[in-house]
Amino acid sequence: MSRRISHDVLTARNEVVAAPAARACEDHNFGLPPAIHLLTGAFFLGFVSVLCLALANASLAVPFGVFAAFIMAFFAVPAVFVKASPDKGAQALGWTDFLERGIDTEHGRCGGREATVLVLMLPAFIFLWAIAIATIVALV
């Protein structure tokens, strides 16, 4: 059976501790401005669009539609997280603030321009890969 123990008794036993530190998941800001988020999504949707046009086939309409829907959901959910943040002060990082402050990476501090290149490099290469595939399909 449970019973209530007073705060004085818990303090006497040294069982009262400090409040836990703020958890990382309480910050719904991803540290990147919305422009980078939109560009990344545009590169991935461009990838699917280029392949859809290059490999135009009626039997591939549903798979490409599903790919596009998943990509849009993948980029819409984080945008909803930022909007639904319990701390209304933690909005998405502005472009000028991002360029001035940059971000912290595993290997140290990275300036805003370098971070932009690091974040957009892989989606750009994936988009260029789709263009290469479309070129090969067109030439064959």
pLDDT at 53: 92
CB-CB contact of 99 with 113 (8 Å): yes
pLDDT attached to residue 6: 86
What is the pTM (predicted TM-score) of this model? Answer: 0.71
For the record, the structure tokens of 119 come out as 């974040």
The set of long-range contacts for 67-74, using a CB threshold of 8 Å and a minimum separation of 24, is 71/41, 71/44, 71/45, 72/41, 72/45, 74/41, 74/44
Q: What is the percentage of the chain residues whose pLDDT exceeds 70?
A: 86
User: Lowest-pLDDT range, 6-15, 45-54, 116-125, 131-140?
Assistant: 6-15
Say yes or no to pLDDT of 98 above 90: no
Q: pLDDT tens digits, residue range 35-55? A: 888 899 999 999 999 999 999
Question: Crossing angle for the helix pair 112-139 and 34-54, nearest 10 degrees?
Answer: 10
At 3-41, the pLDDT tens digits run 888 888 888 888 888 777 765 555 556 667 888 888 999
